[in-house]
Structure 1
Amino acid sequence: MEISCKSEYAILALLEMATHYQSGEPMQIRQIAAQQNIPDRYLEQLLATLRRGGIIKSQRGSKGGYLLAREPRRISIFEVLECLEGLDVRTDQDDIKPRTVDSFVVEEIWQEACQAANSVFQNYTLQDLCEKRDSRRQLDIMYYI
């Protein structure tokens, strides 16, 4: 399993917004894109999807931009991935060929792996990612001293 570029960029953008959540100031696309090295146009599409999913909200005007719709600790990574990817792990091959015991066993294990991954994503929030990032930065600083 790999994280898609779309999901990675979206999580990075949300992490940037989570970092600035306490200020209450909306962030502009170009600001987020520059900080996280994400193409502006692509980020614009991702933020529109996240807005429709209720994860972020937009504010119009000269000081407008995007904000998290809820506190970072209330937005799970699973919710973000579900908004972007759908996370439907069922296979569509059921209609194409007859089911065998072997294919059933493979699908059963695949479903178990996906459920385990989803459980991990449900247990992590944007706040958790911010804390992990901050502790990693502290370790990097300590390493260079």
Structure 2
Amino acid sequence: MELSCKSEYAILALIELATHYQSGEPLQIRQIATQQNIPDRYLEQLLATLRRGGILKSQRGSKGGYLLAREPWKITLFEILNCLEGLDVGIGEEDINPKTLDSGVVEEIWQEARVAANAVLQKYTLAELCEKRDSRRQLDIMYYI
């Protein structure tokens, strides 16, 4: 299991939006792209997907841009990744009747791993990612003093 480039860029963009959430001001694509070093055109597609998924909302006009649709402490990593990648925690038809005994054992363990991974992703919110980042910044500052 790896984090795709698409998901990583989307999470970085959402962290940027979460950082500016309290101001209530939308961020434009180029602002987010510059701050997080993400290609503009790719980011535009990701933000459109997140908007359709109800994680973001957009505001038109000269001072327009993107905003979080809800508070950062209410948006989980699971929800973000599910919107982008279509995570599936359920058991499919093929899981009920495995082809062989061996494949059934493998599938059972893989299902357990997916459920555990999804539980971790549901546990963390955008607000918590921002807090972790801020505490690491503090440690870096303290280290250099």
TM range (shorter): over 0.9
How far does residue 94 in structure 1 lie from its aligned partner after superposition?
3.9
Where 1:57 maps in the other structure, the secondary structure is: strand
2:48 corresponds in structure 1 to: 48
2:26 corresponds in structure 1 to: 26
Q: Which runs of 5+ in 1 are unaligned?
A: none
Indicate conservation of the 8 Å contact 2:30/2:40, yes or no.
yes
Letter in 1 for 2:108: E
Where 2:27 maps in the other structure, the secondary structure is: coil
Return the alpha-carbon distance in structure 2 between the equivalents of residues 27 and 127 of structure 1.
Answer: 17
Deviation per residue, 1:118-144 (Å, 9 max, x gap): 000000000000000000111111111
2:131 corresponds in structure 1 to: 131
Return the alpha-carbon distance in structure 1 between the equivalents of residues 126 and 90 of structure 2.
Answer: 27
Return the alpha-carbon distance in structure 2 between the equivalents of residues 93 and 49 of structure 1.
Answer: 28
2:113 corresponds in structure 1 to: 113
How far does residue 6 in structure 1 lie from its aligned partner after superposition?
0.5
What TM-score, normalized to structure 1? Answer: 0.94
1:84 corresponds in structure 2 to: 84
How far does residue 89 in structure 1 lie from its aligned partner after superposition?
6.1
Where 2:66 maps in the other structure, the secondary structure is: strand
Where 1:18 maps in the other structure, the secondary structure is: helix
Runs of 4+ in 1 over 2 A off after TM superposition: 88-95
**Number of matched residues?**
144
Letter in 2 for 1:78: F
Deviation per residue, 1:34-75 (Å, 9 max, x gap): 000000000000000000000000000000000000000010
2:99 is aligned with 1:99 = yes
Cα RMSD of the aligned pairs, angstroms, is: 1.9
Return the alpha-carbon distance in structure 2 between the equivalents of residues 89 and 127 of structure 1.
Answer: 24
Deviation per residue, 1:68-106 (Å, 9 max, x gap): 0000001011000000000126798949xx711110010
